[in-house]
């Protein structure tokens, strides 16, 4: 029997597992591929697994996680891990890892695409021109000079920083951000002005673009009170998770002209209801939650997830661990080498200043 | 104690009797804004310090000695939950002892990122343009171009950074503005981060040495980085390449650097730090025309200083009020201390207070 059992849920049974095997080549691992058809089946599968790799399966709720008594790590392939109950994982001593970095380019490019399409009225002109209507203006809003506009980012994590870099370096936009968890020195590095209230961000921005994880704190974080303070000429872009926005409030705000339009890659309910009013609005451009897609992100997600699992099985902290609080409930804390977090922090630490006298 | 408010204990340099009023104003700013008490420690014995810790929620340490045994009166064993050190380096801090006692440690991360990266770029240009030698020649009345070759073009040359943290990244960004190719050795940095910075990560120090026209470490000093640059490294460098150091002197085996310079294994050096500081006036590095030296002031500017002073106070309040600090330097403490809130911006803490 192999030392570690790695359960991969939501994968084709003929998949050769090239990435998973390559990253764990030095470990004694038995891979189990599964597509459970019921929660009961999933519960049986996870019982003796040392690692859970969750690709796409509806069965990852509390009962399934509670049954994973041996599991050290739960790896999701995506950035978002809102479907996983973090509290239960903390209690069970299961480290959650995500696919950090697997689609930063792709998602930030989608945000930039939305911003540019909204600025240039591209989708509207495309439809009109193809319909044989030749003409500029014609009821469409004026096109503002983007280099004189303000981009407001909600969330200045990996993806937000890339959007900031592209729009500042490439388009010379003024970039401001609301992210109370972002150290000020990171904002400075990206030439971003940090603002400390979401209202201020919505008031000042010509485009608001959201790049945050969906969790208890961010659910419906953007709602009527925020849309109400937008400039009537401003646009709202969401490429992260639908649930961070109270969608009925966005719809109402668009109807009332509180903002000029929106670019949405995500919706509260997915697949989106064909009757969703957002799909009928000329000033709203949409995509089917495709921001993360590319031929690279497809395999990078698998490689990243495999690297995270491999790190944990080797007894190290993973570089993309998402629930550091789990450390306090880890039974095996003595065995774990906290290599990566330690170095993560020590990277911040460089030459000592000239200390005043006695320093 | 009757009070249940937050109390911050400030430890200044031992024996330093003069507190600069403007520094104190900056260091105590966060406590005043937050409605906390800021107390300057005035004792002189370990016993007095242990007593003082009983009435404090967090300590700020600026150049005061610190015995690791003090941690056993803090964290899980007492009122005082953590310690914030002034500066980037924490060479003298016993992280492990703090962690096992549940003591949260922080520093003033990144306060001098601009300054140190600028000092690095200055040393790089001074080396590349052979400035020290020509300044000396011209002032001595010698007007000549005979010592110029070999001189690199800079654009298209390779700049090798060891440690791509906050300062390494700032150096990378500035080097890229000169058209330099930037490569880096940092085994703890993910490839996607490196790509975001436009930097190529090389797998070994040897490859960095062989390919670079300029090498600049931006690492902290600990047992793993002590004498990281020694004979092996310098012999792998190009004879036309320069070595810059604005991090810590002891990461370099200084006699090995001197040998490499004397033997022409490398072309020159720009140094802000030395193994022994203040540097010995007889140190051969001070006599070389291809070596530029400064006296460990890379991180200095008034703004950097104010930033460090105010950051000290903010981190202390975070620790005292149940948050993790923004710059946690002993993350192992998460294994031993009770859960805390994620660190948030000072402005938001003030608004939520």
Residues of chain B found within 8 Å of residue A319, distances taken between Cβ atoms: 190
Q: Check if the beta carbon of residue A41 is closer than 8 Å to that of residue A64.
A: no
Q: Average pLDDT, whole number, for chain B?
A: 93
- Predicted pLDDT at A135: 87
Averaged over B90-96, what is the pLDDT? 85
Contacts of A358 in chain B (CB under 8 A): 12-16, 63-64
Specify the range with the lowest mean pLDDT, choosing from A3-17, A208-222, A291-305, A338-352: A338-352
Instruction: Answer whether A331 touches B (CB < 8 Å).
Output: no
- Cβ B109–A181 below 8 Å, yes or no? no
Residue A357: pLDDT over 60? no
B90 neighbourhood in chain A, CB within 8 Å: 349
Q: What is the mean pLDDT of residues B314-331?
A: 96
Q: Do B89 and A333 touch (CB under 8 A)?
A: no
Whether residue B88 contacts residue B94, with contact meaning beta carbons closer than 8 Å, is answered with: no
**B222 neighbourhood in chain A, CB within 8 Å:** 346
> Is the Cβ pair A355, B344 closer than 8 Å?
no
Q: What pLDDT sits at residue A346?
A: 29
Is A232 an 8 Å CB contact of chain B?
Answer: no
Is pLDDT larger for residue A149 or for residue B192?
A: A149
Among B residues 52-81, those touching chain A with beta carbons less than 8 Å apart: 62-64
B contact residues 201-220, partner A, Cβ 8 Å cutoff: 218-220
Residues of A in contact with B20 (CB under 8 A): 356
What pLDDT is stored for residue A323 in this prediction?
87
Mean pLDDT for the stretch of residues B292-318: 96
Best probe of the B interface among A350, A356, A358, A359, by most B CBs < 10 A, is A350
Q: In this predicted structure, which of A118-122, A323-327, B212-216, B245-249 has the lowest mean pLDDT?
A: A323-327
CA distance A162 to chain B (A): 7
pLDDT, tens digit (0-9, with 9 covering 90-100), for A34-51: 999 999 999 999 999 999
Q: Do the chains contact at B335 and A333, CB–CB below 8 Å?
A: yes
pLDDT at A189 over 50: yes
Chain B contact present for A93, CB below 8 A: no
Cα–Cα dist A234/A151, whole Å: 10
Is B13 an 8 Å CB contact of chain A? Answer: yes
Weakest-pLDDT range from A314-328, B33-47, B154-168: A314-328
* pLDDT reported for residue A82: 87
- Does A62 qualify as catalytic in the annotation? no
**In angstroms, what separates the C-alpha of B290 from chain A's closest C-alpha?**
23
Is A215's Cβ below 8 Å from some Cβ in B? no
Given a cut of 50, whether residue B153 has pLDDT beyond it is: yes
Q: Which residue has the higher pLDDT, A33 or B63?
A: A33
Q: What does the block give as tokens for B41?
A: 């420690």
| A&B contacts, CB < 8 Å | 174
| DSSP labels, A196-208 | S-HHHHHHH-SEE
Question: pLDDT-derived band of residue A308, with 50, 70 and 90 as boundaries?
Answer: very high
pLDDT at A335: 40
Minimum distance, in Å, between the CA of residue A181 and any CA atom of chain B: 5
Are B112 and B304 a contacting pair, CB within 8 Å? Answer: yes
Contact B16 A341 (CB under 8 A): no
CB–CB of A325 and B339 under 8 A?
yes
Contact B296 A354 (CB under 8 A): yes
Most confidently modeled range among B9-13, B59-63, B72-76, B330-334? B72-76
Chain A contact present for B100, CB below 8 A: no
Higher-confidence position of A333 and A105: A105
- pLDDT class for B2, splitting at 50, 70, 90? very low
Mean pLDDT confidence for A262-269: 98
Q: How distant, in Å, are the alpha carbons of A72, A157, A181, B140, B223 from that of A97? A: 11, 16, 19, 64, 30
Q: Tell me, what's the pLDDT at B297?
A: 95
The catalytically annotated residue of B32, B96, B277, B341 is: B277
Put simply, whether B107 touches A (Cβ < 8 Å) is: yes
Catalytic residue among A204, A226, A289, A302: A289
Interface of B with A in 132-151 (CB under 8 A): none
- Judge: A185–B248 Cβ closer than 8 Å, yes or no: no
Percent of chain B with pLDDT over 90: 84
Cβ–Cβ below 8 Å for A196 and B16: no
User: Residue B332's pLDDT is what?
Assistant: 85
Q: Minimal Cα–Cα distance from B150 to chain A, Å?
A: 31
The answer to whether residue A144 is catalytic is no
Residues in chain A with CB shorter than 8 Å from the CB of B273 are 351
**Residue A270 annotated to the active site:** yes
- pLDDT for the residue A139: 86
- Residue B16's pLDDT is what? 58
pLDDT score of B131 more than 80: yes
Amino acid A116: pLDDT: 97
What residues 260-279 of chain B have any CB closer than 8 A to a CB of chain A?
272-273
Interval B171-229: pLDDT, tens: 999 999 999 999 999 988 877 778 888 899 998 999 999 999 999 999 989 888 999 99
Residue A355 pLDDT > 50, yes or no?
no
Judge: B165–A158 Cβ closer than 8 Å, yes or no: no
Instruction: Give me the pLDDT at residue B15, please.
Output: 63
Average pLDDT across chain A, whole number: 89
**A67-99 pLDDT tens trace:** 999 999 999 998 888 889 999 999 999 999 998
B-chain residue closest to A90, CA distance: B339
Q: What is the pLDDT of residue A1?
A: 82
Give the per-residue SS3 of chain A: CCCEEEEEECCCCCCCCHHHHHHCCCCCEEEEEECCCCHHHHHHHHCCCCEEEECCCCCCCHHHHHHCCCCCEEEECCCCCCCCCHHHHHHHCCEEECCCCCCHHHHHHHHHHHHHHHHHCHHHHHHHHHCCCCCCCCCCCCCCCHHHCEEEEECCCHHHHHHHHHHHHHCCCEEEEECCCCCHHHHHHCCCEEECCHHHHHHHCCEEEECCCCCCCCCCCECHHHHCCCCCCCEEEECCCHHHECHHHHHHHHHCCCCCEEEECCCCCCCCCCCCHHHHCCCEEECCCCCCCCHHHHHHHHHHHHHHHHHHHCCECCCCECCHHHHHHCCCCCCCECHHHHHHHHCCCCCCCCCCCCC
For the ranges B17-31, B45-59, B250-264, the lowest mean pLDDT is seen at B17-31
Over residues B324-331, the mean pLDDT reads 94
Cβ B323 vs Cβ B349: under 8 Å: yes
Q: Is B106 on the interface with A (CB under 8 A)?
A: no
Best A160, A170, A352 residue to mutate vs chain B (most B CBs within 10 Å):
A352
pLDDT at A261 over 60: yes
Q: From the candidates B7, B211, B218, B248, which is the catalytic residue?
A: B248
Contact call for A349 and B169, based on CB within 8 A: no
Lowest mean pLDDT among A135-139, A236-240, A286-290, B100-104: A135-139
Region of residue B7 (phi > 0: left; psi between -120 and 50: alpha; otherwise: beta): beta
Judge whether residue A128 has pLDDT over 50: yes
Is the pLDDT at A250 greater than 50, yes or no?
A: yes
- Average pLDDT of span A335-343: 39
Does A104 contact B192 at a Cβ distance shorter than 8 Å? yes
Residue among A182, A185, A349 minimizing CB distance to B220: A349
Of A140 and A151, the one with more pLDDT:
A151
| B251: nearest CA partner in chain A | A351
Q: Smallest Cβ distance to A353: which of B87, B90, B338? A: B87
* B300 in contact with A, Cβ within 8 Å: yes
């Amino acid at each position: 029997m192999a030392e570690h059992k790695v359960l991969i849920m939501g994968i084709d049974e003929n998949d050769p597992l090239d990435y998973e095997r390559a990253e764990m080549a030095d470990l004694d691992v038995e891979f189990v591929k599964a597509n459970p058809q019921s929660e009961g089946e999933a519960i049986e599968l996870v019982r003796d697994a040392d690692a859970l790799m969750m690709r796409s399966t509806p069965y990852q709720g509390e009962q399934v996680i509670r049954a994973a008594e041996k599991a050290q790590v739960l790896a999701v392939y995506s950035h978002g891990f809102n479907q996983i109950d973090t509290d239960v994982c903390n209690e069970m001593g299961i480290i959650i890892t995500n696919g950090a970095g697997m689609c930063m380019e792709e998602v930030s490019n989608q945000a930039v695409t939305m911003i540019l399409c909204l600025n240039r009225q591209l989708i509207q002109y495309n439809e009109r021109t193809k319909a044989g209507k030749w003409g500029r203006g014609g009821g469409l809003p004026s096109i503002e000079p983007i280099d004189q506009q303000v981009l407001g980012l909600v969330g200045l994590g990996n993806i937000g920083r890339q959007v900031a870099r592209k729009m500042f370096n490439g388009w010379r936009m003024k970039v401001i951000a609301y992210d109370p968890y972002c150290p000020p020195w990171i904002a400075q590095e990206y030439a971003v002005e940090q603002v400390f209230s979401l209202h201020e961000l919505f008031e000042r921005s010509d485009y608001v673009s959201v790049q945050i994880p969906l969790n208890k704190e961010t659910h419906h974080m953007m709602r009527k009170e925020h849309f109400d303070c937008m400039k009537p000429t401003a646009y709202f872009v969401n490429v992260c998770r639908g649930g961070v926005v109270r969608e009925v409030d966005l719809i109402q705000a668009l109807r009332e002209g509180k903002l000029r339009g929106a670019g949405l890659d995500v919706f509260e309910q997915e697949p989106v209801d064909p009757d969703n009013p957002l799909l009928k609005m000329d000033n709203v451009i949409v995509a089917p939650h495709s921001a993360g897609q590319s031929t690279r992100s497809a395999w990078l997600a698998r490689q990243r997830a495999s690297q995270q699992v491999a790190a944990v099985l080797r007894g190290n902290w993973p570089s993309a661990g998402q629930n550091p609080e789990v450390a306090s409930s880890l039974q095996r804390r003595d065995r774990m080498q906290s290599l990566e977090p330690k170095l993560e922090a020590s990277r911040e630490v460089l030459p000592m200043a000239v200390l005043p006298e006695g320093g | 104690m009757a009070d249940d408010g937050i109390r911050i204990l400030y430890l200044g340099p031992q024996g330093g009797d003069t507190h600069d009023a403007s520094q104190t104003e900056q260091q105590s700013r966060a406590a005043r804004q937050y409605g906390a008490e800021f107390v300057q420690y005035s004792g002189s014995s370990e016993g007095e310090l242990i007593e003082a810790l009983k009435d404090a929620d967090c300590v700020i340490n600026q150049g005061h000695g610190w015995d690791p045994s003090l941690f056993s009166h803090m964290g899980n064993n007492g009122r005082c939950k953590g310690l914030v050190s002034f500066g980037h380096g924490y060479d003298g801090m016993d992280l492990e002892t703090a962690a096992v006692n549940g003591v949260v440690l922080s520093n003033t991360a990144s306060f001098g990122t601009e300054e140190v990266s600028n000092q690095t770029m200055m040393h790089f240009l001074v080396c590349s343009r052979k400035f020290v030698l020509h300044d000396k020649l011209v002032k001595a009345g010698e007007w000549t171009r005979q010592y110029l070759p070999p001189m690199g073009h800079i654009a298209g040359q390779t700049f090798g950074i060891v440690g791509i943290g906050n300062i390494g990244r700032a150096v990378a960004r500035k080097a890229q503005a000169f058209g330099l190719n930037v490569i880096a050795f940092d085994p703890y940095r993910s490839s996607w981060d490196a790509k975001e910075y436009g930097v190529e990560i090389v797998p070994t120090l040897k490859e960095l040495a062989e390919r670079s026209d300029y090498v600049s470490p931006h690492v902290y000093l600990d047992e793993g980085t002590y004498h990281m640059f020694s004979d092996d490294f310098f012999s792998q460098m190009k004879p036309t390449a320069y070595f810059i150091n604005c991090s810590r002197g002891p990461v370099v085996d200084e006699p090995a650097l001197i040998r490499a310079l004397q033997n022409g294994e490398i072309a020159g050096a720009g140094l802000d730090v030395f193994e022994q500081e203040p540097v010995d006036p007889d140190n051969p590095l001070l006599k070389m025309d291809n070596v530029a030296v400064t006296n460990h002031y890379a991180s200095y500017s008034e703004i950097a200083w104010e930033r460090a002073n105010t950051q000290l106070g903010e981190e202390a309040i975070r620790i005292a009020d149940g948050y993790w600090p923004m710059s946690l330097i002993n993350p192992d403490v998460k294994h031993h201390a009770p859960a805390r809130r994620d660190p948030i911006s000072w402005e938001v803490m003030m608004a939520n207070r």
